Amino acid sequence: MLKFYHAPWSRSTNVLWLMEELGVPYELELIDIRAGAPDSYRDIQPNKKVPAISHDGVIVTERAAITIYLADAFPQAGLAPKIGDKDRAAYLTWLVYADSVFDPAVAVHTLKLEYPPSGVSFGSYDDLVANLERRLSHSEFIAGDRFTAADVQMAGSMGYVMQQKWLPERPAFVAYLERTTTRPAAKRAQEMDLEMARKVPAFAEMFKGQ
């Protein structure tokens, strides 16, 4: 039994896309993080955040960990290079990079906070942008020449950030998102998330009259 704890239009949206890519049955439980998740949810996620999963009673939290776990647990989906495959190093590197470098660097950039790049683990925003552009100018997908679960995390995050104008629309980025976020599973996840967002009280004003 695979259960997915999710809040629409949140950091767990990438995992919703991953769930659709896996092609396996799963149960989805909505967690209203905007209104405040119940304290009982701390038994699943101690900070009452999403995403989280429970797979046959095994709980996994944090996007990178969930992605690694699920892609390995369901190898038939072909979303992860196997242990021993030379491409696995790049796959793991970029998958973790999405959470450990991309997310915090962009967050600090949007807050317009000044900080010494050498004093934080994620470095500078400018180095992040340059690194992504170098990689995607010479590689069709983030971990090599085939789509992997690392693309779900990187492309999902980049698409949102570019939509918000927090990441420049470099040609390499636009082309990469066209290759990845137009996949059938990505489109299904987008449509599902939109329908779920319509039912969230915090978004009621946004959908008023629609």
What is the reported pLDDT for 204? 80
Retrieve residue 60's tokens: 């996994």
Residue 210: pLDDT band (50, 70, 90) is low
Does 208 have pLDDT greater than 90?
no
Mean pLDDT calculated for residue range 137-155 = 97
Its CATH class, for the domain covering 88-186, is: mainly alpha
> Is pLDDT of 165 > 90?
yes
Tokens of 164: 């918000």
Burial class from Cβ neighbours inside 10 Å (0-12, 13-18, 19+) for residue 201 reads: exposed
Residue 164: per-residue pLDDT: 95
Burial class for 47, CB neighbours closer than 10 Å (0-12, 13-18, 19+):
exposed
**Tens digit of pLDDT for each residue in 89-116?**
999 999 999 999 999 999 999 999 999 9
> With 0-12 CB in 10 A as exposed, 13-18 as middle and 19+ as buried, what is 81?
buried
Full-model pTM: 0.94
**Rounded-to-integer distance, Cα 187 and Cα 181, Å:** 7
* 2-78 and 88-186 in the same fold: no
**Percent of the chain residues topping a pLDDT of 70:** 99
- The residue extents of the domains of the chain are 2-78, 88-186
What's the whole-number mean pLDDT along residues 127-134?
A: 98
Neighbours of 40 (CB within 10 A): 8
Q: What is the pLDDT of residue 127?
A: 98
Classify domain 2-78 at the CATH topology level: Glutaredoxin (3.40.30)
Distance CA 87, CA 89 (A): 6
pLDDT at position 11, please? 93
Quick: pLDDT tens for 37-84. 999 999 999 999 999 999 999 999 999 999 999 999 999 999 999 999
**Tokens (6 digits) for 24:** 């396996």
Exposed (0-12), middle (13-18) or buried (19+): which is 139, by Cβ within 10 Å? middle
Does residue 206 have a pLDDT over 90? no
